[in-house]
Structure 1
Amino acid sequence: MAKQICSEDVSISVSSVRFNTTKLTLKSIDGTLLSSLDRSSKHFDKKQNAYSFDRDPELFRYILNAYRIREVHIPRNVCPMLFKRELQFWKIPSKMIAPCCWKYLYESESNMDDLRVIINEDKDYKMQMKANNQISPEQNGQFPKMAHKEKPLISKERNATKIWMFLEEPASSTAAKVWYYFYIFVVMVSVILYIIWLAPSLRVSRYLSPLIERSIDALTVNKTVYHTLITMYNERIVMAGGTDPHPAMFAVDVFCLIFFISETLVSMCVCPDKKKYFSDGYNLLKIFVCIGMSITFGLEFNKDVLRENVKVAHFMVACRAFNVLRLLLIFRLRKIYNSLHIMLLALRHSLKELLLLLFTFIVLVIIYGCLIFSAEIESDMFPNTQMSMWWAVITMTTIGYGDYYPVSSLGYVVGVVCAINGIIVLSLPIAAIAGTFGNLFARNSDFQKHKQTIKDQENDTFFEQVDVSNI
């Protein structure tokens, strides 16, 4: 009886295209939609005496063929993601996909993952889609409390949004783009000031803080005392503590400080999503740079405190060193120059490869550091394992300062193997990161073309460019 049921003919109508098979064939893959069909199923059509489905009949040929050969083969003339949806509808497990089709399917999935990353980062595209779907910011949840506020507050929120768009989105208006370039200009001026801050030709006698007893002015003190100070410390420290910057240079630095603080405070106040604002690394960088610049600005008026308190002096040096991070504010250009944005995305999504590189590098540094220390145990070249690990870092990165080096035959062998391994270890993860960048860059090119096509259609220029005579 069971054998008779299994050999029973089954008719399946897919969008009015009829397919005939047997129960035995459909039972070859357990747990699927077709294997569980019976006459009590909602898909059974008594009039046609067949199971009816509103699906693509061309794709169903390959689905049915999977039951016959117990393997799923994806046709090359069909989008892999579309075929995957068909597999999900028919409840056919992914393990049935033939190995010859893995590359075709999973490459497409990887491309889709890259595109999702790019689209999620593109605020202009999101806004365009919201506008096309007539979704307001309130409905989208950008301002969740607006629906419960009165009309004056709604107007206030809209003004805040306009200011936010002006500050953060250069594509929103011409004025926003001008502001954007002006911000980059101020960043570059600030970085140039940082570079030339201690140049002797741009330092003048102290004027920012009053000269009290035991105060030192490096430009008015006699040459004997000046050379003594340089011998005790160095010229940079003497210039930093015994002179002040040129008034014009100091004025420009104060302007940059006020500019950065004002821009940061305004953007912080008008930001629609405070949680997202403070979780953004770039915004945190702006805040820390403003704090560092403010501290060094205040200490410029109290140079005698630096001489009397070494800890305060070291703290100021640390703050000035931290202020070099203002150069990273130039990455604001990522919103205009898409390639820079893709490079940052590639680094972010290659975090696993970077951690692997770091972990492997540390392990090899320890190994070769200990090996060279043991190989050169009879020489005085490596006083301890810390210095031997320093040598391993310099050798693996192929820098080779020459401050420490092997002198024995066994040490030479360790040095050669260390250098070769360093090249291999550093190159492998970098190739993976370059591959990620290449994939993201290619997908971003496709996305930008798609955006331009949508824009042309909205401006009614797309169909003008198409030569309909060839269609």
Structure 2
Amino acid sequence: MEGESRFPDVDSNGSEKNEDIEIIVNVGGVRQVLYGENLNQYPATRLAQLINCLSGGYDTIFSLCDDYDPGKREFYFDRDPDAFKCIIDIYYFGEIHMKKGICPICFKNEMEFWKVDLKFLDDCCKTHLSEKKEELEEIARRVQLILDDLGMDASENHWKRCQKYIWKLMEKPESSYPARVIAVLSFLFILISSVVMCMGTIPELQIVDSEGNHVEHPTLDNIETACIGWFTLEYVLRLISSPNKLHFVISFMNIIDVFAILPFYVSLLLTHLGAGMMELTNVQQAVQALRIMRIARIFKLARHSTGLQTLTYALKRSFKELGLLLMYLAVGIFVFSALGYTMEQSHPETLFKSIPQSFWWAIITMTTVGYGDIYPKTTLGKLNAATSFLCGVIAIALPIHPIINNFVRYYNKQRVLETAAKHELELMELYSGEGKVGGSKNELEDLMGEGKEPPSWSRQLKVSHSDTFIHLLSDEKHYRTRLQSCK
């Protein structure tokens, strides 16, 4: 029959020897000849299955490829040819290296299409893949947070809706205009309280109390009280509306908030009740120590400053470089302080009384501060000092560049993630029919996760099937063709 003549030739037993089979694959316009002896090394892969499906009929063949030419024994695939050139290396070298410029997530999808296990991907390429996965997880988390902020779930009770509204009002300045106003007010109160704290130490602005002690001016004290009242109200509202109270309490920034508020109330308690339990002098010393703790409130600025948050993260990622910096300085301080002490002993008016005392001189010299309270007087001592500050400059300069790179990389990454999250939301709105209600229940379940009832506002959004589709927002499997790009 005509249909039977189009199938590949087989031997007398009804099949060819797989090792002797030669096939041609056309991937995105790139043709390559492959041999059975190479492909059968990994029989679970798609290319190895092509050899075994030749005698299985067209249904089996077209389940593995997009098109087939029986005359040429050529299989057609509408896939990325650049990725295929990398994946084909497994049959010749036993491992796969991802070319520079290929999206790691796209490459992972290509490996899944060709049924090649990820364990064959080289370790250096797995690092890029894990970094890209973390980025997509972060984008998905940001998108989900924004989706959660778009509205309220009608199935929730009045208290839950009120709690979410207060949480967005206090924690998410971008959610609404009142939230932005509250964020600006909080920022201004932090600045005002910091300025008042500094101005309260100016002698001209202080007054003398009945016991002859200089205390803060009552006006500054009243401003301080108003600021503490705002900080207290802000903390209490955020604690009440927090969805996870334990995580809120142990959060680092919230601990800073407590340390910024607590000294005021403790000093107030000691002032009114402490005098009867201890001497007045001890009470005043305790109050003064607690008032100094007010400097902790300046760290509250990190809540409203992306730059400070980025700096904190960069320092966390730079512990190794900071450790090297401290190690270099510690070695230099010990060596040059010992040399300075030894060389200065011959001078009758030496300022280097001991090696531990010389540590201070070595620190201010290597960091190029040079207060001048301790300085060498001999020629060898001056030569040692010149060498120490030159070595200090080099020791400080070496680890600085990686720290700066960590800061710039994280800052740029945050900007890219924010842009990607907004882009994904715009595509969701675009595919929702310009905001028209009518999203199907299945689409909403894909968006919100199985087993969860979608809120009323989510009916206006559909899942985006864009080039930057986030798999974490849907259980559906998506593969890109070679005609699609990855942003």
TM-score between both structures, scaled by the size of structure 2: 0.68
Alignment of 1:323-362 (within 5 A): 323-334=294-305, 338-362=306-330
Asked if residue 254 in structure 1 is aligned to residue 225 in structure 2, the reply is: yes
Match of 2:56 among 11, 36, 46: 46
Contact 1:87 1:93 (C-alpha < 8 Å) held by counterparts: no
Instruction: Tell me which residue corresponds to 2:117.
Output: 91
Asked if residue 112 in structure 1 is aligned to residue 140 in structure 2, the reply is: no
Asked if residue 199 in structure 1 is aligned to residue 170 in structure 2, the reply is: no
Contact 2:271 2:287 (C-alpha < 8 Å) held by counterparts: no
Alignment of 1:280-359 (within 5 A): 280-299=251-270, 308=279, 311-334=282-305, 338-359=306-327
Instruction: Tell me which residue corresponds to 1:67.
Output: 91
Instruction: Tell me which residue corresponds to 2:408.
Output: 438
Q: Secondary structure at the match of 1:262?
A: helix
Structure 1: give runs of 5+ residues left out of the alignment.
Answer: 139-150, 218-241, 465-471
Deviation at 1:196, TM superposition (A): 1.1
2:333 aligned partner, one-letter code: V
Q: Deviations over 1:128-177 (max 9, x none)?
A: 35589x9x989xxxxxxxxxxxx8x8432221121111111111111111
Q: Specify whether residues 366 and 113 from structure 1 end up closer, same or farther in structure 2 by C-alpha distance, changes over 3 A only.
A: farther
> More deviation in 351-360 or 182-191?
351-360
Q: Specify whether residues 39 and 248 from structure 1 end up closer, same or farther in structure 2 by C-alpha distance, changes over 3 A only.
A: closer
Match of 1:127 among 145, 150, 167: 145
Structure 2: give runs of 5+ residues left out of the alignment.
Answer: 1-15, 66-76, 435-487
Instruction: Tell me which residue corresponds to 1:144.
Output: none
Distance in 2 between the 1:435 and 1:180 partners?
30
Alignment of 1:30-429 (within 5 A): 33-34=44-45, 46-47=56-57, 53=64, 56=79, 58=81, 59-68=83-92, 72=96, 74-75=98-99, 78-87=102-111, 89-91=115-117, 93=119, 112=132, 115=135, 119=139, 123=142, 125-129=143-147, 154-206=157-209, 216-217=211-212, 242-299=213-270, 308=279, 311-334=282-305, 338-379=306-347, 380-429=350-399
Contact 2:50 2:64 (C-alpha < 8 Å) held by counterparts: no
Distance in 2 between the 1:357 and 1:117 partners?
33
Instruction: Tell me which residue corresponds to 1:25.
Output: 38
Q: Specify whether residues 323 and 113 from structure 1 end up closer, same or farther in structure 2 by C-alpha distance, changes over 3 A only.
A: farther
Q: Secondary structure at the match of 2:88?
A: helix
Q: Deviations over 1:87-137 (max 9, x none)?
A: 57413656768xxxx6xx5895586378469648x75x33235589x9x98
Q: Specify whether residues 108 and 93 from structure 1 end up closer, same or farther in structure 2 by C-alpha distance, changes over 3 A only.
A: closer
Q: Specify whether residues 92 and 51 from structure 1 end up closer, same or farther in structure 2 by C-alpha distance, changes over 3 A only.
A: farther
Q: Specify whether residues 32 and 51 from structure 1 end up closer, same or farther in structure 2 by C-alpha distance, changes over 3 A only.
A: farther
1:163 aligned partner, one-letter code: I
Q: Secondary structure at the match of 1:193?
A: helix
- Compute the RMSD of aligned alpha carbons: 4.3
Contact 1:14 1:52 (C-alpha < 8 Å) held by counterparts: no
1:112 aligned partner, one-letter code: K
Instruction: Tell me which residue corresponds to 1:238.
Output: none
Contact 1:391 1:404 (C-alpha < 8 Å) held by counterparts: yes
Deviation at 1:393, TM superposition (A): 1.2
Q: Specify whether residues 309 and 300 from structure 1 end up closer, same or farther in structure 2 by C-alpha distance, changes over 3 A only.
A: closer
Distance in 1 between the 2:365 and 2:276 partners?
43
Q: Secondary structure at the match of 1:324?
A: helix
Distance in 1 between the 2:280 and 2:405 partners?
52
> More deviation in 110-119 or 169-178?
110-119
1:373 aligned partner, one-letter code: Y
Deviation at 1:435, TM superposition (A): 0.6
Contact 1:375 1:411 (C-alpha < 8 Å) held by counterparts: yes
Q: Specify whether residues 118 and 403 from structure 1 end up closer, same or farther in structure 2 by C-alpha distance, changes over 3 A only.
A: farther
Q: Which has the higher helix share?
A: 1
The alignment-based identity, stated in percent, is 21
Contact 1:27 1:35 (C-alpha < 8 Å) held by counterparts: no
Contact 1:373 1:385 (C-alpha < 8 Å) held by counterparts: yes
Distance in 2 between the 1:325 and 1:409 partners?
46
Q: Specify whether residues 96 and 347 from structure 1 end up closer, same or farther in structure 2 by C-alpha distance, changes over 3 A only.
A: closer
Deviation at 1:23, TM superposition (A): 4.0
May I ask how many residue pairs the two structures share in their alignment?
399
1:285 aligned partner, one-letter code: I
Contact 1:292 1:323 (C-alpha < 8 Å) held by counterparts: yes
1:83 aligned partner, one-letter code: F
Deviation at 1:197, TM superposition (A): 0.9
Match of 1:8 among 20, 33, 36: 20
Q: Specify whether residues 298 and 245 from structure 1 end up closer, same or farther in structure 2 by C-alpha distance, changes over 3 A only.
A: farther
Distance in 2 between the 1:19 and 1:358 partners?
57
2:217 aligned partner, one-letter code: H
2:260 aligned partner, one-letter code: V
Deviation at 1:289, TM superposition (A): 1.3
Q: Which has the higher contact order (CA 8 A, sep 6+)?
A: 2
Q: Secondary structure at the match of 1:21?
A: strand
Contact 1:115 1:444 (C-alpha < 8 Å) held by counterparts: no
Deviation at 1:76, TM superposition (A): 5.2
1:82 aligned partner, one-letter code: C
TM-score between both structures, scaled by the size of structure 1: 0.70
